[in-house]
A and B are shown apart, each in its own frame.
Chain A
């Protein structure tokens, strides 16, 4: 196991020192490439009040390839499937080494505020979102309440 690239160390340090509001990423004790992420649902979104757990893994060739991010907390979102996989361009082909963990997580947070049912991953959700947005948002709220709110 080769040691950690400086970039990861730097990013981790910065994440710790200057945390982004609403985002909390903590590297795993055993694997510094694995992060336990908590993203709070953005205000004015159906996910408001929710605390979403994600996992983020930096692959071997990071930053040349995108980090792997997955929602652990169930979420009702057209771009996030039931397994928590996220459909986000910057995580796929739009990945750029100039992006960072924090930017990715911000993007995800933004994705929560602005679902994009036109580029769906969870087709049923996207369908509902398109057909009956209010219903979908209500579902999302319910899911958030159900899964993402801790008492």
Chain B
């Protein structure tokens, strides 16, 4: 056997043969690397290692030697016999490693997504391990936040309880009072009636008695007369006369007697001053619960606390080591926002679809948002079959969860949800999902089968070693636990059977929780009732969508996954939905409204009916319904809306698959039906598409109505209320349409809000959702959500133009615009997700646009529409807007400016100019919104265009002061801020002229009214420039003027200028590898023309920006050849514009010409003269000498411009003239060499010969003290700017070395730093600061 082994072993590599090649001498060797290594390329020969025979290499190289098939068979046989695992690399061909370029067997590295060799891979794994460790400590450090939150939640739950108890008591109190009032009143009324009765009765009795008496008298009289008034009795004349008189009187009396026979049945009436129904109504709604909305979309206690700090998050998201990833990451972020992604992109832990050998587990952890888009799509399709139960909780996105928590109104509900969650957890089938964090989607590692396996292996090994430690016990315990949990899936099936029971139980609980249900219903009520409440709701929903939908495509699939168990058994859905308040429901509705409304269009009518049936019954049980309220219609609408929601996911998933042809048929049918129900809409609309959709929607409502108990009106109003948010927008849009079209369609837009309450909105909302069914054939309902998402910005953008309510539009406008800026600035999760919106919006817009083009191609309105669509479309003819948004306004607004200024002159000409004007203007509004509104938070600020930021920084306060009246409304404030630079400049020179101020406000008014600014410009030629540039960009001449103004000031007192430094003017960059982004920028240098270069260290390139921070060019790549860099650090520009770069890891200095071409390089690693050990900072003087901080050699070396060594000074030590890790260097024009002696926490100033002139600073954080100073720069008057990295601040020293000013602090906000690197001073006194960990350059 030994021999056999030996025969199968290549004598060169001493390994099993891999593709044994047979030489003519009959000796065999592996093809790679053995045979390859044997080749004598010069002589094209291969020398047999065994017999030294020399063979010519075939033309095709060594692979052309015949493979020793026999040997190979033996190898296979051997493998079969011994059962030994084949070499993992067998059968593979060697390739060049993508990292080290060495030829080797490659495997896929999950870290960098490249095929790399084992060495590099293990290095990467090391990196990952280190990173994980780092993250671990980070997490450990910040874990307390969760615990704090826990405590807060505890507190909150207690306070919520007390709150609710208090409210209940109040309600009881009110109830008591009202009851008492009613009772008192009742008693009083009753007493009055009694009193009246007695009095009247007495009167009547008296009357009766009198009458009786009369009757008796008269009767007796009559009798007497009858009897005795005849001849038999003698009467004298007097007597007869008296009798006659009496009788006359009697006759008289009888004739005149009349009894007022009034209607005693209605003598007393109970009059109610108020309509009793009304009263009851009032009583029934005698109180509303005002549930304070959370201030921000994700503002629930838990989520806001859990939201990772923006600084931490990117770190967690990305492994810092692989800068190349940044690009890919960004692309992914484009597709899918981070927030709602499941950890590991929905994968199982440690599994990777692409990987051939996925034997490692440690790598999956550092990369969160990978390949999810793909996954989503797939899963979306796959999930048509409900065969993936494990996914049910996968999409517990933080966002969604937080919202559900957000809107929880009562303790009971929360508790109940908690129960649900627990149940859900239990129900989860997959072992890994068992412990998935409901907020973050983080799974417990110890629940992952692979981890368990790993740990088990370790455990086994340990056992073998007989080292029985506590850790092992813990591991074992974990394994046991895991095993137990792995068995749970089996129980899960049983559980699911009993799901319905649970649900009913939960429902019972719901019923038993009157407070909660009441409040919830009230919340629903408020949403449904008035437009006024819808308005904020719309905004809010828009905002929600911006963050919630952002993953655009994912949202739907999200829900589909989320709901996968739901589909099988609708009830669970209801159960989870029911407690969610109407706002969230509204969000969902709007996002899905497209699909929901298309319910009617196809066969789904039946399915919807089916869906509606259980849902309606459920709804009846659900709290909303069970609450018995006299205001029945409203309630019905609400409860109707609940089933509608529940229906939606259902339909949305199925509907898109129906063919559009069928849909259109149905639509036509529906049209006729709808005309009866909604005459207004179908009559008026000349847009066929809209009509159809509307009518189909109507059908849907009617169907829904049929399936439910309510009337069609109710259901439609339900739909209306449900999609009220979007409908509002739609209404605005419709209004615009009607305005533009001249043929007004008020009915569809205003849609009889008076007649059927919310039905008007219902109809318009249906119209709104047209895109979804219409495009269902080529897409899934993602478009629905996308377009819904687009709605806000769409209309708001429009609104900005519209003459009415720019104010309303403003807030929603500013953020969507900002969302595009994400690329440049941001790692904040909000902006990330916003980006997603942008994209989906773009898709939706595109769709919508095509639709519009189709439906009314002949309309002049097209322009307007294009105009509106354009700004988000990167592919269309207006790249400026896109660029503007994408690059934070830098490169883009440059274009925009040129266009927009043009547009101002010829505004009415072409749609293109119009477009850019619009975009430019919207940019301004954005700017203004943030610059004036106090509410504009830093996030917004970051997202704003740099121009906006610039304005905000510089003049924001002033402009606010100047136009206090307009400062409240962002839109109207817009022009004022665009003007405010004029005012600001004026202010800085002397004082703001009232004329310009009034003009500013005038313009602001105009702009807010949507009037073309041209007139405004014409108003005053002095301000003409200003307003135009206001529309333009940061590159505008005004900036230059402003800058000039500053320089002018600087000329008089640079010192004052520096003293004023505090607030960032603008910033550029953001993590990434695309132009204008950085990955750990280090050195920065300012050229003679005030352009500046940034050493984009981990992108291994130099980026050049012009004086306004606009990206000009970049050059360099990773490598060690000419013009390539490896983590370059310092950079300098000499007098003739050459770039001198400290190529740090290549231990050399490179000189590039102004075009970026390689000129020369000098130096290599070493400690002798002219050699470097991690050269860092670099500087040149006026004579062209190059000063290099030779960091690890603790010295400064001086070279001639051609690279000849001139001298050196400094050595390791703390004494004067000694250096320890000098980082950066600067040379003043008085030839003072200023070195940041980093580890000695001081700055040393040398003369050119290395003699110490001065030492500045000592270790500490007080003013004038330093901690690990890094970047250093000196201006032409000798002021020194020091990046005090350890204190995360910038310090400015006067030429004599006295402290002048310090500003900045740790953080990632504006004017905050994380890891300072190089600094630079422009000739106008602006200070450039490389903010390494924030991957940006800030300008002060």
Contacts and interface: CB of A to CB of B under 8 A. Distances in A.
Interface of A: 2-3, 5-7, 10-11, 61, 63-64, 94, 96-100
A97 B102 CA distance: 20
Contacts of B48: 96
Contacts of A97: 11-12, 34, 37-38, 49
A100 B12 CA distance: 9
A18 to B, nearest CB: 11
Contacts of B122: 3
Contacts of B11: 97-98
A104 to B, nearest CB: 13
Nearest to B27: A98
A69 to B, nearest CB: 18
6 contacts: A6-B13, A6-B14, A10-B15, A61-B37, A96-B49, A97-B12
A50 B14 CA distance: 32
A98 B49 contact: yes
B598 to A, nearest CB: 60
Contacts of A96: 47-50, 52
User: Closest 8 A-B residue pairs measured CB to CB?
Assistant: A98-B49, A96-B49, A98-B11, A64-B37, A97-B49, A97-B12, A10-B14, A7-B14
B118 interface: yes
A2 B102 contact: yes
A38 B48 CA distance: 30
Interface in B817-856: none
Nearest to B36: A64
A64 B33 CA distance: 10
Given A2-B119, A7-B13, A100-B14, 6 more contacts: A5-B13, A96-B52, A97-B12, A97-B34, A98-B12, A98-B49
A3 to B, nearest CB: 5
A7 B15 contact: yes
Contacts of A63: 12-13, 37
Nearest to A8: B14
Instruction: Give the dominant DSSP class at B's interface.
Output: loop
A63 B34 CA distance: 9
Contacts of B12: 7, 63, 97-98
A10 B11 CA distance: 11
Interface in B30-52: 34, 37-38, 47-50, 52
A148 B14 CA distance: 34
B69 to A, nearest CB: 22
Contacts of B13: 5-7, 63
Interface string B51-92: 010000000000000000000000000000000000000000
Contacts of A99: 49
Contacts of B100: 2
A100 B10 CA distance: 12
Given A3-B118, A3-B122, A10-B14, A94 B49 contact: no
A100 to B, nearest CB: 8
Interface in B449-506: none
A97 to B, nearest CB: 4
Contacts of A7: 12-15
Nearest to A4: B119
A61 B14 CA distance: 15
Contacts of A2: 100, 102, 119
Contacts of A64: 37-38
Interface in B4-34: 11-15, 34
A6 B14 CA distance: 8
A6 B119 contact: no
B1302 to A, nearest CB: 44
B50 A98 contact: yes
Given A61-B37, A64-B37, A64-B38, A6 B50 contact: no
B1316 to A, nearest CB: 33
A97 B10 CA distance: 10
Nearest to A5: B13
Nearest to B104: A2
Contacts of B118: 3
A14 B13 CA distance: 14
A99 B14 CA distance: 10
Interface in B687-733: none
A3 B15 contact: no
A56 B100 CA distance: 28
A64 B48 CA distance: 12
Contacts of B15: 6-7, 10
A2 B121 CA distance: 11
Most chain B C-beta atoms within 10 Å of own C-beta, residue among A3, A94, A97, A99: A97
B52 A94 contact: yes
Contacts of B102: 2
A134 B48 CA distance: 40
Most chain A C-beta atoms within 10 Å of own C-beta, residue among B12, B34, B37, B102: B12
A94 B48 CA distance: 11
A11 B52 contact: no
A99 B38 CA distance: 13
B49 A3 contact: no
A98 B35 CA distance: 11
A2 B118 CA distance: 10
Contacts of B119: 2-3
A142 to B, nearest CB: 38
A64 B102 CA distance: 16
A146 to B, nearest CB: 39
A7 to B, nearest CB: 5
A63 to B, nearest CB: 6
Contacts of A5: 13
A2 B97 CA distance: 13
Contacts of A6: 13-15
Contacts of B38: 64, 97
A77 B870 CA distance: 89
B714 to A, nearest CB: 74
Contacts of B34: 97
A99 B47 CA distance: 13
A94 B49 CA distance: 9
A20 B909 CA distance: 94
A57 B1227 CA distance: 48
A99 B11 CA distance: 8
A96 B50 CA distance: 7
A127 B1083 CA distance: 67
Nearest to A6: B15
A89 B330 CA distance: 60
A63 B15 CA distance: 13
A99 B48 CA distance: 11
A88 to B, nearest CB: 15
B391 to A, nearest CB: 41
Contacts of B52: 94, 96
B284 to A, nearest CB: 80
A42 B281 CA distance: 117
Interface string B95-135: 00000101000000000000000110010000000000000
A9 to B, nearest CB: 9
A139 to B, nearest CB: 35
A111 B437 CA distance: 72
Contacts of A61: 37
A40 B365 CA distance: 55
A11 B14 contact: yes
Contacts of A94: 52
Nearest to A11: B14
A22 B158 CA distance: 83
A12 to B, nearest CB: 11
Nearest to B11: A98
A7 B10 CA distance: 10
Nearest to A98: B49
Interface in B734-786: none
Nearest to A14: B14
A97 B39 CA distance: 12
A98 B52 CA distance: 10
Interface in B660-683: none
Most chain B C-beta atoms within 10 Å of own C-beta, residue among A7, A61, A98, A100: A98
B659 to A, nearest CB: 59
